[in-house]
Amino acid sequence: MIKVKEKVKLNMNIWAVLENIETGEKRIIKGKNIVTNDGDAYYAQMAAGEAPSDDFDAAASGLRLGSGTATPAKTDTDVQTYINTSLKGLDTGYEKTNDNDTDNTGAAVDSVTWRYSYIAADGPYANIYEGAIVDNRTTPTAALTHFQFAATFSKTTSDTLKVFVNHNMLGV
């Protein structure tokens, strides 16, 4: 649980690590995101020690990938164009601060990291361009964050994929 006594400004960054299981080659795809209105409420409620209105680390919550090209907005509740079967639950042990996964170069002691991992058998998924952490993977009604990658990419059944969402808490 996040405990803060001062106002915080969230500065976000996304890292997707696509690794070919045959060659071991890794490709890093960066992205930018926005914490939505629901996400702002979640972080404020967690900081105050309250039960969140929308629980983004509950069993039904998770990540959805999409191919939409619209700029993410504060009012978003999901990806624009969902890629079928791309939903994924939060990895065990996450969310957490000071992430020790060496693939997450955006980790820091003042960052909350959310990680979602796809195995080679997941997919294939073509034209991945966006993602959202949602309250319910199958029927979302709220999003913590909605993000876009710098470029579209595809995940084949020869790839694993880890998506890191880092929310940096910067006192203001």
Q: Which residues contact 50 (CB under 8 A, 6 or more apart)?
A: none
Cross-strand partners of 30 = 15
Q: Give the per-residue pLDDT at 113.
A: 95
What's the pTM value of the predicted model, to 2 decimals? Answer: 0.90
Per-residue pLDDT, 171: 65
Place of tokens 């913590």: 144
The segments of the chain whose pLDDT lies below 50 read 1-12
Query: How do residues 99-118 score in pLDDT, each as one tens digit?
Result: 999 999 888 888 899 999 99
Q: What was the pLDDT predicted at 13?
A: 85
